[in-house]
Amino acid sequence: MKSTPELDAEPKTADLRQRALSLLARREHSRAELERKLGHTGSAAGDIASLLDEFEQKNWLSDRRFAESYVADHRARAGSVKLAYDLRQRGISDHIIEAVLGENRDSELERAREVWQKKFGSPPADAAEKARQMRFLQSRGFMAGTIRCVINGTGGD
């Protein structure tokens, strides 16, 4: 018996839905991430978009929740600059990034001190060591003012 496109459409939609639910069961995803992963299945972009719209309406998919989860998981090792960059790469809008990171700004200096303490533990002995420590903290995404406070051992702000 020959299959018709109408009969094949329903199983593909069900498979797409199952794959999306399976991905979301493992961890939070941004809409852009989930759209990219589901795009590899060969499904039509319109089918994926309508499925993701449905998931957002049911609150199964939320960029805000993804951003909060991502920041909670990565803030111990990274500063606000790096976190914002990583979230943008995952398709999160700037207004969500600002809102989520705005809730965590007060702990930026404390986090930078913890990262610095774990890696170095003692103040730099010379200018070269100071530059090395500053580059390290900068690579972790901490802001310049925060880095200066940590390296100089001052209170901040």
Q: Where are the domains of the chain?
A: 5-61, 64-105, 108-152
Asked if the domains 5-61 and 108-152 are classified in one and the same CATH topology, the answer is yes
pLDDT at 66 over 70: yes
Structure confidence at residue 94 as a pLDDT band (50, 70, 90): very high
> Domain 108-152 adopts which CATH fold?
Arc Repressor Mutant, subunit A (1.10.10)
Residue pLDDT, tens place only, 132-155: 999 999 999 999 999 999 998 876
**pTM for this model (two decimals):** 0.77
Task: For domain 5-61, give the CATH number.
Answer: 1.10.10.10
Q: How far apart are CA 90 and CA 70, in angstroms?
A: 10
The values of phi and psi at residue 118, to 5°, are -65, -40
